[in-house]
Structure 1
């Protein structure tokens, strides 16, 4: 775990790096902009929009295989080795990970829609999005902010408008931001019988960080100068990451914004009652429970959770981080 003094030095170094890079002029013309970048996911075709014309955006970049069919409720699987030769359209966000918006109105859903995801959801969602300065090159070695969105591990995505960092990059031209998508609610934290790993959303986050470390230099980033920054549930995820990989963090610092693993909600349900209850609604039981549930459309599962929870039905259902003594621990003071 990173000490307070060490973290202070990391943050100071990160800020000084941004200041140093921002003081350097960029002499390239816009005709020199590279919107085609080779990565382990393929050759990405990015975009520049009119709102932030000095920012290259590479959106919806896959970092793992789609967690569908037999890969549903499995740890993230790496992309096949021949994926690097593919051409990837990275001009728009991918699907958001499966989730639902309650029909019960709130101040957010009524007046602050920019806090909600844009676009549809679906299981082919293990992607990340990259915002880089217009002319950043591999030799620039810019500091990198890796962002984990909030939403209670129930909602969220890279497409949430208020979390879009494009204007930040437009202003500074001195660092890179990457947002990682990860599985949520019953798909990310199922606590289902027969699974070796229950905190799949947290494993998705780790897989995303590993992809960034391997590929970010091509965008002008420095893989040895990355900070993991999470907001709310993303902050809880960030702290969980720190505890989970104390000797192999990859990143050099952590920013926990409005959340802590020390005060987080976690599930300790050895009978798997939440998952089996949902499965029973689709007539999935016994030894065929998981194979059966893997055949149920994700939308049908989310629709059931929405109608059930909006009705305040009993028993209450919760799909959250699971105590496993690997990623989520019962005691953080020992």
Structure 2
């Protein structure tokens, strides 16, 4: 017990240190999106001047790319749909500064921001003129943290001949507060759609092909990609989709509560909206006055009141039906999809749980932690599930933490992913991956865990959106660098060709033969992304490793009659 307490204290301090380090680092990039060009200084390079429908921008040359950071793609009143920004007559000279992040508290994943003027995007293009495929990255962060800013380095993708766009969108209660008084609750998804509209209308000026846009994202960003597949309002805005660890929480919930047999399923308004509003000065406002009241609150008040977990909701204009309903029926934006998840998704959340004071070194602490983890689905019998998973672990100090990690991996991420593979392949060309490199570099800086993190949640991003130098600094060996090269080629080949992301024998130095990535079929295979060289495995291997038959019929709490 003493060892457990000391471990938790060290983790809390380490996570706080990481948050501070990220905050200080983020300050270096500034908060603005550029300044009007007064005409002073040397004449700008014409190849760095682009004319958008809103006006001219002057970018910079950086690491062999043409870079345009901090372009405003939208403006929005609080709790209202975004609109394209007004035009500007004077060219805006951009710099290495990103536009302001959307409001969020400080966290281990990003710096704090209180600025609601945050609808910015960034464009990274090859230096040589061309007609390049376009990839649009949607960041993760549980829909409450993150930005399209300095955490992501697209240079290796751009080297492969694609244009990369990253973007901000409204987060937390300001982006996803579900309450019928606000109309459509999914303002953050609407922001993403407006950014895609901006890209369609303007990306040709950056030598991007507006008819070849691949949407990709991880975690909440991957969930966003799935949501855009399901959203009628996103039709025609993109042509391919990559979902990285986005199939979490099973399926989405409705704005209002629904019935499922003898069970009542709470809606987003009951789970997120009302509890948030109850903690503000708008708690007693009449419904007709609620919207105006919420608009008068300070950003700080809203951030303090919002829940630690929030999701897009269905039954709205943006999302009439849920992701799984759309995928099952075929009523979605049918484009080729590449989708997958990681072998040890839950390990990162186990580390964070320890940092939050959970005791995962004793039986009682483990049972309490599992009950909290599964609380969002009251139908699940948390006690039985905790016991079943613990029985799979060998005795030892880490048996409780490892069981907790396995539950988080299988229930929250990988079995929902397995289900959605099955739905997608019935309608569109689908490629599945399974990231399994347990020697992946630790992305958490100096934080060390009391257990191996392995192929944890978000650890695959660095193989696609980091430079070789960054990977090496984090301790990547030759095997990890080789896998990163493969993954960069897979992602960009998918963006270029769509119907075949396979890597040919001449694509990578030293590759003796093609590394095939077969389409997923009813008896199909997925690609296991392990270092140094990926290989095809059966989807059944994935399903078995993650207990998906168990989660297809999990222990539940029967209703009391």
- Asked if TM exceeds 0.5, the reply is yes
Alpha-carbon distance between aligned partners in 2 of 1:119 and 1:131, rounded to the nearest angstrom: 25
**Are the equivalent residues in 1 in contact too, given 2:254–2:314 (CA < 8 A)?**
yes
* Secondary structure of 1:85's aligned partner: coil
Call closer, same or farther: CA 1:159–1:252 in 2, change over 3 Å.
same
1:90 alignment counterpart: 94
Deviation digits for residues 25-84 of structure 1, max 9, x if unmatched?
A: xxxxxx9562221112321122234xx1x111111111111x2xxx1011112223xx14
Structure of higher RCO (CA pairs closer than 8 Å, 6+ residues apart): 1
Correspondence 1:47 to 2:60: yes
Bigger Cα Rg: 2
Return the offset for 1:320: 1.6
Correspondence 1:183 to 2:193: no
Alignment length (residue pairs): 267
Call closer, same or farther: CA 1:303–1:76 in 2, change over 3 Å.
same
1:142 alignment counterpart: 132
Query: Over aligned residue pairs, what C-alpha RMSD do you find?
Result: 2.6
* Secondary structure of 1:197's aligned partner: coil
1:200 alignment counterpart: 187
Deviation digits for residues 104-124 of structure 1, max 9, x if unmatched?
A: xxxxx3xxxxxx335745211
Correspondence 1:260 to 2:247: yes
Correspondence 1:243 to 2:230: yes
Call closer, same or farther: CA 1:99–1:45 in 2, change over 3 Å.
same
Which 4+ runs in 1 deviate beyond 4 A? none
**Are the equivalent residues in 2 in contact too, given 1:58–1:90 (CA < 8 A)?**
yes
1:3 alignment counterpart: none
Call closer, same or farther: CA 1:132–1:117 in 2, change over 3 Å.
farther
Listed as ranges, the matches of 1:289-304 within 5 Å are 289-304=290-305
Gaps of 5+ in 1: 1-30, 103-108, 110-115, 310-316
Return the offset for 1:191: 0.8
1:8 alignment counterpart: none
Return the offset for 1:267: 5.1
Correspondence 1:229 to 2:216: yes
Call closer, same or farther: CA 1:244–1:213 in 2, change over 3 Å.
same
Call closer, same or farther: CA 1:117–1:42 in 2, change over 3 Å.
farther
TM-score using structure 2 length: 0.44
* Secondary structure of 1:194's aligned partner: helix
Alpha-carbon distance between aligned partners in 1 of 2:298 and 2:233, rounded to the nearest angstrom: 38
Gaps of 5+ in 2: 1-43, 258-266, 330-561
Alpha-carbon distance between aligned partners in 1 of 2:315 and 2:88, rounded to the nearest angstrom: 34
Return the offset for 1:192: 2.3
